[in-house]
Structure 1
Amino acid sequence: MFVTGADGLIGRAVVAALVADGVPVTALSPTWGRPSPADRIVTGDATDAGDVADGLADADAVVHLGAIAHRDLAPPYEVYRTNTDATFNVLSQAGQRGIRRAVIASSINAFGVPMNHHDVEPAYYPIDEDIPTQIDDWYSLSKRSDELTAAMVASHWGIDVVALRFPHVAAADDQRRYAAQASRDPARMAREGWSYLDLRDAVGVVLVGLVAPFEGAHVVGVSAADTLLTTDTTTLLDRYAPGVPRRRALPGRSSLIDTTRATDLLGFRPRHSIHAPTGYGSAPAPAGVLP
């Protein structure tokens, strides 16, 4: 297994989970903030052909998480170039080597609305993978471009790829702090549906993405089964997005991310909520998800 972005938040947790499951892992990162449990370490850049070739040696699958993870973390060209170069480099080399499965990190921002500097709203709720795009920034563009790269390599080389549209991902305590901040200005997160995903569930969906029986390239939205805030979802929408159409009833604190595809394609259901410390307790854990 080859994991890029292996010293990032999700990357560290994915590597640890794979190693704990007895999977040999080669981990790539340009820097290391702490030791990695991976079997083999490559200190390098996912945009570098040689570094990626080294990392892919003997790999049978890929988890590509390496990226500049926000619009404001570097100049626009650097964000777009780094993210799109890395994804093309990793997936095209994997495809040429005959590797059959890859999981890559996309983002809820791939449809463009959350970071758009104009006064725009989603076309509808809940947000799904086919929602119209309104891309206005280079990070969102890079994530949508990565999804198109996945479709190209799947067509050209026959590698099966799932691009996961992650919302805000954090460990439980950090997520609760994030929720407290969001509650002070609820309008700020309306365009991404007050969505979030516990780090343990982020790891879980990556793992099922590696083994689920699908073919081709797929974009998959993921989130917790509820929203960050304690207010009922319909109340939030009535207050902060009253003009946006709703495609179904949204009882209680229902998530505003449509995760039907995650369930149908991958068999994934989230297990963790910041509002229920012991988990949702209503659905069995999908195969391959660690407790």
Structure 2
Amino acid sequence: MSKRIIVTGGSGLAGRHVIAYLIQRGHQVLNLDLAPLPENLARHVHSIRVDLSDAGHVFSAFSSHFRLTQPFREPLGRPADAVIHFAGYARNMLAPDNETFRVNTLSTYNVVEAACKLGITKVVLASSVCVYGVTFAEGDVDFPSFPVDEELDVNPTDVYSIGKLCGERVARGYTQKYGIDIYVLRIGAVICPDDYAQHFERYVRSPSDWKVHGWSYIDARDLGQMCDLSVAVDGLGFQIFNATNDENTSGLDTKTLLERECPRTAFSRQMGLTEAPISNRKIKELLGFKEEYNWRKCYKLEKESNGPFRAFMGKLALPLSEDDALDD
């Protein structure tokens, strides 16, 4: 069923793929961002320039029309069906630490508060796997156990991740106070469709360098599916979901990879042959996520015309997938 969805930060690399997916699913989208949308999306989605750290901006924008028409054809007063909040600084050191913390935490607070007080009953928040405390740690830090799931205690030390964790706490409190659904997506390293070669040649050649990403990733289009499912599935209250794809990024089997790279880290259960260390089991079970964009197949499509590609793929410890070897 088509829904009216507000997306914040939809002009960013991840956000624009989420918006594209939502449009393809037939939803009506309003984008709130300081930057404009790319032209191909701007033809279908109206954007309002909004400073989300200003509560007045947020309340006003959340009460806006979704489309600019002459005259306005849709009556005001009907709340959006959902808000998907992606806006904010995407990592450390894009701004001074205090500004990163101020913008990210205050924006999330304003979005959640406005949604609750304006009668919007579904909020989807973009958090990050950085909250597990490894990505921006001071030095080399191990994950507490594998697989990394949503039940693990988290204690990050960098300002970006602490800000994300603050947003999760705001969401949990407001869910209890107002009785709405707020689903938090702890998003892995986002890979856009044209970026597979750039990222995975490094991931596969030097897996020891990528504990910081948990040897996990999320295709931007699969992230769109996760957002769509989050809007569609009601009644779960406050939930945290790891937003990652199915397989690890190394080209090795997961047990071999983790025993080599993290020999002191225990396993809480047996893992699948190539299962991503940051587990997406919960989002598959509760929301019905099904991966569409496996990195091996996407990488093959991007590089299949490249001569050195087969030699490179031949160095992987596993074929294209567990039951699908690379064609001759």
Which residue of the partner structure matches residue 44 of structure 1? 50
Cα distance in 2, alignment partners of residues 281 and 21 from structure 1: 31
Does residue 32 (structure 1) correspond to residue 53 (structure 2)? The answer is: no
Give the match's secondary structure for 1:71. coil
* 2:13 partner amino acid: L
Flag the 1:264–1:251 CA change in 2: closer, same or farther, 3 A: closer
Tell me the CA shift for residue 255 of structure 1. 1.2
What is the TM-score of this pair, normalised by structure 2? Answer: 0.80
Query: How far, CA to CA, are the matches of 1:37 and 1:129 in structure 2?
Result: 38
Match for residue 172 of structure 2?
Answer: 151
Aligned to 2:198: 177
What CA RMSD, in Å, does the superposition of the two structures yield over aligned residues? 2.1
Cα separation, 2, equivalents of 1:173 and 1:195: 18
Q: Which residue of 2 aligns with 1:225?
A: 246
Superposition deviation, residue 263 in structure 1: 1.7
State the one-letter code of the partner of 2:9.
G
Verify the 8 A CA contact 1:271 1:281 in the aligned structure 2. no
Range that drifts further, 180-189 or 73-82: 180-189
AA matched with 1:179: F
Q: CA deviation at 1:17?
A: 2.5
Identity of aligned residues (%): 30
Q: Structure 2: any 5+ residue segments left out of the alignment?
A: 64-78, 302-319, 324-328
Secondary structure at the counterpart of residue 246 of structure 2: coil
Structure 1 position 250, deviation (Å): 2.9
For the pair 1:137 / 2:158, whether they are aligned, the reply is: yes
Distance 1:229 1:280 in 2: 13
Contact 1:102 1:161 in 2 (8 A): yes
Within the candidate set 4, 17, 28, 2:8 is matched to 4
DSSP-derived class of the 1:220 partner: strand
SS in 2 for 1:113: coil
Deviation >4 Å, runs of 4+: 278-282
Q: 2:305 maps to what in 1?
A: none
How many residues align structurally? 282
Q: Does 1:15 align with 2:35?
A: no
Match in the other structure for 2:104:
83
| Secondary structure in 1 matching 2:240 | strand
User: What SS class does the counterpart of residue 137 from structure 2 fall into?
Assistant: coil
Once structures 1 and 2 are overlaid, which stretch shifts more, 149-158 or 249-258?
249-258
Contact 2:22-2:224 at 8 Å conserved across structures: no
Q: Per-residue deviation at 1:258?
A: 2.0
Contact 2:34 2:51 in 1 (8 A): yes
When residues 61 and 189 of structure 1 are mapped into structure 2, their CA distance, relative to the original with a 3 A threshold, is same
> Aligned partners of 1:172 and 1:228: how far apart in 2?
15
Q: Which residue in 1 is equivalent to 2:61?
A: 55
The aligned runs of 1:56-135 (5 Å cut-off) are 56-57=62-63, 58-135=79-156
Measured at CA, do residues 124 and 77 of structure 1 come closer, stay the same or move farther in structure 2, by a change above 3 Å? same
- Residue type of the alignment partner of 2:162: L
How many angstroms apart in 1 are the aligned matches of 2:263 and 2:194? Answer: 31
Q: Secondary structure at the match of 2:267?
A: coil
The 5 A counterparts of 1:192-207 are 192-207=213-228
Q: Which has the larger radius of gyration?
A: 2
Rounded Cα–Cα distance in structure 1 between residues aligned with 2:43 and 2:138: 41
Take 2:171 and 2:271, find their aligned partners in 1: how far apart are those partners? 32
Distance 2:322 2:141 in 1: 36
Does the Cα contact within 8 Å between 1:122 and 1:191 map onto a contact in 2? Answer: no
